[in-house]
Amino acid sequence: MKRKIVVGVSGGVDSAACVLMLKEAGYEVVGVMLSMCGNEDERTADELSDALGVKVLWRDVRTSFEQRVIEPFIAGLLAGVTPSPCTVCNPEVKWRELVRTARQIGADRWATGHYCRVVEHDGRRYVARGADALKDQSYYLWRLDDDILSGAVMPLGDSIKSRVKDMVAASGLGSIASGRESMSVCFFGGGGYGHLLRQRCDVEALRGGDVRDMTGRVVATHEGFPFYTIGQRKGLDIPRGMCVVHIDAARNTLYIGAPDSLYCQTIRLRDVVVRNDDELFGSDRLRVVVRGIGRNPEGVAQARPCDGGIEVRLESPGAWAVCKGQPAVFYIDDRVVGGGVMC
């Protein structure tokens, strides 16, 4: 008998490639389409089933997505922090529903089209960086637990995006391969998270306020602090070379300063997930990533338990523009060994 596996499918090229690769590997593939924002229905799942040549199940997860992802995201913005919704959605909604569905239909494996790998080290499974450095998504999966990782499969981990698109096109799915790739968070829509805030929040929560320099002098105004984040200058009429360096949510005030002032060598984390305490706190090869792809700290990091969380010390010059609410993720070589939320 073929081994049964469920695959999260969306109609995009990556999940289509995932299905094709697993069918080629001899699995009995069952697709699972999740309706998170209400844009997908059972008819969409049927159409995708015909296109991919596998059964595609439709699952309505709008309620859990709203409660676990969208509402906390908005609450975080209104508190002056910058949440990372994808790092919550993956373990608490997407992968969790794949595992649930797999067990319902008798499958013991579950897969997605993430550009990551699953590796084993000392008897434990870990998420690891994918081969395509420009598409690597391991940063967003730091909270996957043993229950999820026990059966997780990520077929695109050793693949390069351009070759994946070529493979899907060659299989006869040219319309999927040529589809536009979305780079934004799925529930932002075309207007970004600013549009979402204006839809969901009352006028008082989004009122304009002052922009001050670090001496306290008012230099400009803003449209409402939830629309801004640390390091931002876009959308503000501020002196050239300046950016947001502090958000005072209680006073609805932004403070600006020089970008170089945003380097820090000490980070504190809450809501920590650690795969192996001894490895994390004893490694001399520990690295920290504070944004998925972009400006990340150089050099080795040192981590230690601190006040129910973790304190991380970095080599000079440290991390740039760290934002409360964003993840800091620990790596040893390519393996994700833990992470937490910056506070």
Q: Which residues are catalytic?
A: 89, 186
For the chain, give the number of residues.
343
Give how far Cα 80 sits from Cα of 37, 171, 217, 275, 311, Å.
25, 47, 21, 30, 21
Neighbours of 291 (CB within 10 A): 18
End-to-end distance of the chain based on CA atoms, in angstroms? 50
Nearest to 287 by CA among 314, 310, 260, 254: 314
Alpha helices in the chain (DSSP H): 13-24, 42-52, 62-65, 71-78, 85-89, 95-105, 146-149, 161-170, 174-177, 192-200, 277-282
Q: Output the CA torsion 47→48→49→53 (10° steps).
A: 120
Contact assessment for residue 219 and residue 262, using Cβ atoms and an 8 Å cutoff: no
Please provide residue 53's backbone torsions phi and psi, each rounded to the nearest 5 degrees.
75, 25
Residue 248 CA, chain-centre distance (Å), reads: 26
Question: Which long-range contacts (C-beta less than 8 Å, at least 24 apart) are formed by 135-138?
Answer: 135/160, 135/161, 136/292, 136/293, 137/292, 138/329, 138/331, 138/334, 138/336
| Residue 92: partners with Cβ closer than 8 Å, 6 or more residues away | 64, 68, 69
